[in-house]
Amino acid sequence: MPKKYHIPIKTAEPRFRPIGKYATIEFREDCAGSCKHCVKKTCIYGIFKENYEHFSTMDEPEYLYNCQSCFRCVQECTRGIFSRVIDPDYRTLGDHYWRPDVIHRLWYQAHTGKIPVSGAGYRGPFAGAGFDSMWTDMSEIVRPTRDGIHGREYINTCIEISRRLTPLTFNQDLTLASEVPKILEIPIPLLFKLPPNLILNKSILISAAKAAQTLGTMMFIQPEDYTEALLPYSENLIPSLTRHNFKDNVDLIHKSRVVELEYAPDIDESLLKIRELKPDVIIIAGVPLDTHQATRALKLAHTEIDTIHFYADECGQELNSQDPRFLKEMIREVHLVLVDHTIRQKINLVFSGGIAMAEHMAKAIICGADGVVVDNPLLIALECRLCYRCRDGLSCPVELEDAIDPEWGGQRIVNLMGAWHSQLIEVMGAMGMREARRLRGEIGRSMSFEALEMENFGPIFGERKVAGFR
């Protein structure tokens, strides 16, 4: 049995005070001030230990970054002086898709490398738009000593990004007659791509590249961002080229194991020329997720392309459409078209845009993806608040435009991906799956709110007419 894949997580403290969801207000004039067992000292999560400095200043409100919302402090205070409120800055984080709760959880995971928990349990809706309308099937849960992150059994999360050869042919003596192409595996079903429309500088690039190298995965990068400082990470970088500039980046092609080529109608010509420059290079086609995605996927599957990278917008929506579909529907469409033409096994599919949480990675694979590409969470791991001030030319509240320590930045990203990997293993263990590649397209391992509602309530009430559900 191969050695278990291990991600070296290590606590990486935030540089700035993180914005938590909750704050407490105390009516101090009624505080006894002499409680031997003040509820702050007995908090089972140790939340108030981060606020010792606050005890001396007595400023209000008291901001709690890691509060688990168990209400023990509110309920057990002998004088009843605690009142919990929502931090007003919390509401300013992100947007309608990259919600404050998503950003807050990503910060916690980048800080600790641990799976986030909530003392008050889940209090949100049980269905929503996008991936929130899809639930994974946990009916195969067995002993915790056997499955999951603490189990004895090996759960493989590897995927290939090199083309698969099917079918194999053999000689009469049963030796392999087929010429086997170069195989390139990555140990976790995700790749990196820093968002182009937010802050990007040398220290951020090095942080992400260091994390990709530590994790054994790959990162897409524009050729103009490729500097000498990134040469030590060349085996983990994927230059994103076009038919117009690949001839100007021959050196990058020779340094790289993988390159991405932007889709164009005459992509075959550029593909052959890159193969002439470096025959064993693995080539990924970058394709926009729009109404022509399935047709393009079918065409590319019959070429020598190894992997197709489909990209949606940053909220996981279809591009160039008046009524855009969400990522999961588009993944399903591409996967099924290739299955119907019996060519799905030959090519790999990765998708980017809207991958905000670990569960999105698992759900995308269930829909038919081989892997996903992570973008915005990389910057969020570096404390980005997605306030979008940088797009208006304003200063960043966490000073990402200045140089940050790549060791710190790399560790924060490694921690985040470590927490995601743990969650993927937990989900796969609960579904009885031992192989991430086996999970691909296993839609029977999930439940859809839309399908369940139509099956149970559709015959009575008809089709739902609510925006955000499909």
Task: With residue 295 as reference, give the H or E element that holds it.
Answer: helix 293-301
Domain assignment of residue 243, yes or no: yes
End-of-domain residue from the set 68, 86, 104: 86
Any domain includes 280: yes
Instruction: Assess if residue 223 is contained within a domain.
Output: yes
User: Phi/psi of residue 40, each to 5°?
Assistant: -70, -35
pLDDT given at position 28: 58
For residue 1, the model assigns a pLDDT of 45
Q: Are residues 70 and 84 in contact, defined by beta-carbon separation less than 8 angstroms?
A: no
What is the reported pLDDT for 470? 43
Are residues 58 and 176 located together in one domain of the fold? no
pLDDT at 396: 93
Instruction: Kindly state whether residue 220 falls inside one of the protein's structural domains.
Output: yes
Q: Do both 82 and 168 map to the same domain?
A: no
Q: In sequence order, which residues have a C-beta less than 8 Å from that of residue 6 and are 6 or more positions away?
A: none
| Domain housing 183 | 159-453
Are both 301 and 190 inside the same structural domain?
yes
**Domain tally, the chain:** 2
356 assigned to some structural domain: yes
- Domain-ending residue, one of 31, 62, 86: 86
Q: Check whether residue 206 and residue 349 sit in a common domain.
A: yes
Task: Tell me, yes or no, whether 7 lies in a domain.
Answer: no
Sheet holding 82-86, edge to edge: 62-64, 22-26, 82-86
Residue 469 has a pLDDT of 40
Residue whose C-alpha is closest to residue 418's, from 161, 172, 145, 106: 106
Q: Do residues 49 and 186 both lie within one domain?
A: no
CATH number for position 320: 3.20.20.70
Domain end call among 54, 71, 86: 86
Residue 33 confidence (pLDDT): 59
Mapped onto helix, strand or coil, the DSSP state of residue 455 is helix
What is the pLDDT, as a whole number, of residue 467?
A: 47
pLDDT of 30: 62
Q: Comparing C-alpha atoms, which of 217, 157, 166 is closest to residue 193?
A: 217
The DSSP output letter for 2 is P
Residues of the chain with pLDDT under 50: 1, 55-56, 58, 467-470
Residue 386 shares a structural domain with residue 288: yes
Cβ 424 vs Cβ 157: under 8 Å: yes
Residues 82 and 163 in one domain: no
What's phi and psi for 134, nearest 5 deg?
-125, 130
Q: Are residues 71 and 215 in the same domain?
A: no
What's the whole-model pTM score? 0.89
Task: Assess if residue 463 is contained within a domain.
Answer: no
Q: Answer yes or no: do 60 and 186 share one domain.
A: no
Q: What is the pLDDT of residues 255-297, one digit of tens each?
A: 999 999 999 998 999 999 999 999 999 999 999 999 999 999 9
In a domain? residue 137: no
Same domain assignment for residues 205 and 320: yes
Query: How far, in Å, CA of 420 to CA of 192, rounded?
Result: 14
In a shared domain, residues 82 and 225? no
Same domain, 71 and 214: no
Provide DSSP, 401-433.
Answer: TS---HHHHHHHHHHHHHHHHHHHHHHHHHTT-
